[in-house]
Structure 1
Amino acid sequence: MHSHRIALIPGDGIGREVTPAACAVLDAVASRHGIRFGYDEFDWSCTRYEATGAMMPDDGLDRIRAHDAIFLGAVGAPGVPDHVSLWGLLIPIRRQFRQYVNLRPIRVFPGLPSPLRDADGVDFTVVRENVEGEYSEVGGRFGTGFGEELAVQEAVFTRAGVTRIADYACALAARRRGHLTSATKSNGIVHTMPFWDEVVAERAAAHPEVSLAREHIDALCAKVVLDPGRFDVIVASNLFGDILSDLAAAVAGGIGIAPAANLNPEREFPSMFEPVHGSAPDIAGTGVANPLGAIWTAAMLLDHLGHAEAAAEVETAMAAVLARTAVRTPDLGGTASTAEFTRTVLAHLEEAK
């Protein structure tokens, strides 16, 4: 019996509705694979911020440091600025636990049409550098309230940071189809992006089994829309990867199905798993949130914890629901509730025994 302790942070809005769906799937597949999950739930959220002035307690990171993984539902509320919720919870977890890989699989499932005409068989992964780059704390504001007010934001790229994300992406490409695309903008961003290009090229040279292509981010976005099937693994900086992965999720049918993993590959610290649809306050509490992103995220958690067969069963059940049934939540054009969609996935998991 493999036992794992999971830190659950349902967060805000529909995060509180899709997290139970993910746990139900985890428990169902665990029961026949000799796995036991224990869950410790934390109320860290915008609701907590509005009540206490903090997204999490001062010792929050110490409370979850010893867990095997973290599952985050969503954070965000209309009354709390997004930079407050992000920098008060998500980014501290990513940085303190060195979750420098943000992994975003993109797949067009049979039965769930892409908004593009020719997207059948699309299957690629965006590897986003997750802890430095454009999302730094270096900078500031000057002259606030005056006509000459200015703001300075510095991007921070380190050789160590670019090296490790490039190495991860190369290794992933080698396990897949052997094609790596690097997102850049070195024609316009004169210091950081040429540096990124140089380091990525150096690391790709150490992986002769992987072919490397370099694309400027604006052209790359167009190609992801026009010909998504050409891509295998895309590696990108924090900002470029953030934008590109959401665009790619839309290509695959909607951000409601998109999973993500924030990985510490060395496993010195817990990794964090989260669907990327956000808290969706407009539909929170209505029971129609799409749980597919959270369920797919649960499969990524399983795989990271060493249970590849169980993870594959979850993905197979997801695919079967989309290919063989008409069960869809409203964001996918259907009328199913969160609970109904989850029950359908669980039924297909049961059939796969």
Structure 2
Amino acid sequence: MKTLKIATIPGDGIGTEVVPAAIEVLKTVSEIHGGLSFAFTDFPYSCEYYLEHGVMMPDEGLEKLKDFDSIFLGAVGNVKLVPDHISLWGLLIKIRREFEQVINIRPAKVIPGVRSPLVHPKDFDLIVVRENSEGEYSEVGGRIYQGEDELAIQNSIFSRKGSERAMRYAFELASKRKKHVTSATKSNGIVHSMPFWDEVFKEVAKDYPAISTDSQHIDALAAFFVTHPERFDVIVASNLFGDVLTDIGAAIMGSVGIAPAANINVNGKYPSMFEPVHGSAPDIIGKGIANPIGQIWTAKMMLDHFDETELGTLLLDVVESVSNDGILTPDIGGKHSTKEVTDEIINRLKQRA
């Protein structure tokens, strides 16, 4: 039997509600498979942990996490307790950077039973590949002077290695899908990094003659996500552009509560990390109505990462059958609790087995 060691970090807010729900679903998946099991180890790193210890995770935190097969994260952040720049850079971004999780991938598709805010949504199914280690989110820069002369300088860092790595990941992914890659750019306004990005994209595209391509300026691309999302297959984008596009992708699906994400380590030295997009949702903590679909879909992405694609497909099919029957949490128009949605997914998984 293959046993996968999973470090679970429920984190803040509804993360503490949806991570246990997704774990129960994964346990059911392992029962169905027979040859697959999970060994979960929980870590309390969170804003509450920060208030007690003065850090989001201990100095040895990364050392404890590095030997796991993957990290399953719930949510990070509670601005009422800890400023966002402390909570994110002390946990989420720290793990991404130190564990060389250089690719972030986020899908968006029509989910049956979930109402999109688009008036006539077509059957879109796209995925954004986001460069996850540099770009506009580099730490290079600083602030000088005071008063009216104060300056803030933020430098974007675009390396050939980092850009090409994200692009090749996108092309490889597209080869298993609809064989089209769109590059997000802004070379008509950002005069150094974006023309460089465009040049690298054209060079990489030559190695994939079977994949069609196009390049879209980010402002137009954001608009097309709303007006014609069905046009797209795989989109490759810089750190900032990818971040913006994926939130639009979640919005046109109908809720950030259903959107999954994966932070991928491509060299095998460290674990990858899987997290939903939704955040800690402090307004509904403890009410039992947090939407578990984002965390469960994230579990599907984790299964795919371990080459358990058949199980991953089964899991998403079951989730969609449950949503199509209107068994939904209030954030997407339903009246069911976190537990009721989770239990129904588990029941249908057992029925499929």
TM (normalized to structure 2)?
A: 0.98
* C-alpha displacement of 1:266: 2.9
Identity of aligned pairs, percent?
54
The answer to whether the aligner puts 1:101 opposite 2:103 as a matched pair is yes
Is residue 2:308 matched to residue 1:272? no
Is this contact kept in 2: 1:5–1:68, CA < 8 A? yes
Consecutive unaligned residues in structure 2, runs of 5 or more: none
Q: Distance in 1 between matches of 2:26 and 2:224?
A: 36
What are the superposed Cα offsets for residues 126-177 of structure 1, whole Å, 9 maximum, x if unpaired?
1001111000110011124x22111110000100000100000011111111
After TM superposition, give the deviation of residue 111 of structure 1 in Å.
1.8
**Is the Cα contact below 8 Å between 1:110 and 1:120 reproduced in 2?**
no
Q: Distance in 2 between matches of 1:61 and 1:159?
A: 28
Counterpart in the other structure of 1:204: 205
Q: Which amino acid aligns with 2:189?
A: G
Unaligned 5+ runs, structure 1? none
Question: Is the Cα contact below 8 Å between 2:32 and 2:350 reproduced in 1?
Answer: no
Give the aligned partner of residue 81 of structure 2.
Answer: 79
**Which secondary structure state, in structure 1, belongs to the residue aligned with residue 74 of structure 2?**
strand
1:316 aligns with 2:320: no
Name 2:157's counterpart in structure 1.
156
* Cα distance in 1, alignment partners of residues 286 and 116 from structure 2: 28
Residues 262 and 274 in structure 2, CA contact (< 8 A), matched pair in contact too? yes
For 1:121, the equivalent position in structure 2 comes to: 123
Bigger CA drift: 289-298 or 96-105? 96-105
Task: Find out whether 1:4 has 2:4 as its counterpart.
Answer: yes
1:342 partner amino acid: T
CA distance in 1, matches of 2:267, 2:63: 19
In the other structure, the counterpart of 1:215 is 216
2:249 aligned partner, one-letter code: A
Alignment match, 2:94: 92
Aligned residue number for residue 249 of structure 2: 248
Instruction: Output the CA distance in 2 between the equivalents of 1:120 and 1:2.
Output: 40
Aligned to 1:18: 18
CA distance in 2, matches of 1:335, 1:319: 17
CA–CA separation in structure 1 for the residues paired with 2:321 and 2:229: 23
Residue 175 of structure 1 aligns to a residue whose secondary structure is coil
Q: CA deviation at 1:267?
A: 2.3
| Alpha-carbon shift at residue 202 of structure 1 (Å) | 0.6
CA distance in 2, matches of 1:283, 1:158: 41
Q: Please tell me the residue identity of whatever aligns with 1:332.
A: I
Aligned mates of 2:269, 2:31 — CA distance in 1 = 27
Aligned residue number for residue 61 of structure 2:
60
1:47: which partner in 2? Answer: 48
Contact 2:115–2:332 (8 Å) recurs in 1: no
For 2:346, the equivalent position in structure 1 comes to 346
CA distance in 2, matches of 1:210, 1:266: 24
Aligned residues between the structures: 351
Q: Distance in 2 between matches of 1:294 and 1:37?
A: 16
The answer (yes or no) to whether the contact 1:256–1:293 under 8 Å persists in 2 is yes
Contact between 1:104 and 1:245, CA under 8 Å: does it hold in 2? yes
Residue 80 of structure 1: how far off its partner (Å) = 1.2
> Residue in 2 aligned with 1:224?
225
Partner of 1:306: helix, strand, or coil? coil
Partner of 2:37: 36
CA contact (8 A) 2:140 2:154 kept: yes
CA displacement 1:233-260 (0-9 Å, x = unmatched): 0000000000100001111111000000
With the length of structure 1 as denominator, give the TM-score of the two structures. Answer: 0.98
SS of 2:149's equivalent in the other structure is coil
User: Contact 1:30 / 1:310 at 8 angstroms: preserved in 2?
Assistant: no
Q: How does 1:231-242 map to 2 (within 5 A)?
A: 231-242=232-243
Alignment partners' CA distance in 1, 2:310 and 2:266: 20
- What letter matches 1:343 in structure 2? D
User: Would you say 1:329 and 2:326 are equivalent positions?
Assistant: no
Report the CA distance between 1:109 and its aligned residue: 1.6
Runs of 4+ residues deviating >2 angstroms: 265-268
Is the CA contact (8 Å cut-off) linking 1:167 and 1:203 kept in structure 2?
yes
* Inter-partner Cα distance in structure 2 for 1:97 and 1:201: 29
CA distance in 1, matches of 2:111, 2:10: 27
